Amino acid sequence: MNLYVIDATDDTTLHVFAHDANQATGIFGAYHLFNDLPPPPDAVLRRVNPHSSGLNPQHLADALETGIVGVGRYDGERWIITAPEQFGGEA
């Protein structure tokens, strides 16, 4: 499991938990589709190095260990991951 950051040209930034870059890109597209957003804009995808990300390493390790794929939101204490099948509600 990896954490990817997707920075889009429309100033959207998503944190995506995925097994690989292709899966992260698909989740990015699904997020836009299910939240009635315009088609995904051009974006830059980068894999986060959990050891030098500046994020709380234990919180990130805990999130990665869940194996849950989806869009992540960090609340300062933990990562909340919304799986694609939950999109449309809160992601």
> Domain residue spans in the chain?
2-86
Check whether 80 has a pLDDT greater than 60: yes
The more confidently predicted of residues 18 and 30 is 18
- H-state helical runs in the chain: 21-34, 57-66
- d(CA 67, CA 17) in angstroms, rounded, equals 8
pLDDT digits (tens, 9 = 90+) for 56-74: 989 999 999 999 999 999 9
Mean pLDDT of the region 15-44? 87
Confidence check: pLDDT of 89 > 60: no
Residues 42 and 28 sit within 8 Å (Cβ to Cβ)? no
Q: CB within 8 A of 21, min separation 6: which ones?
A: 4, 45, 47
Cα 57 from Cα 90, distance rounded (Å): 25
Identify which has the larger pLDDT, 65 or 12.
65
Residues 35, 87 contacting (CB under 8 angstroms): yes
Q: 4 pLDDT exceeds 80?
A: yes
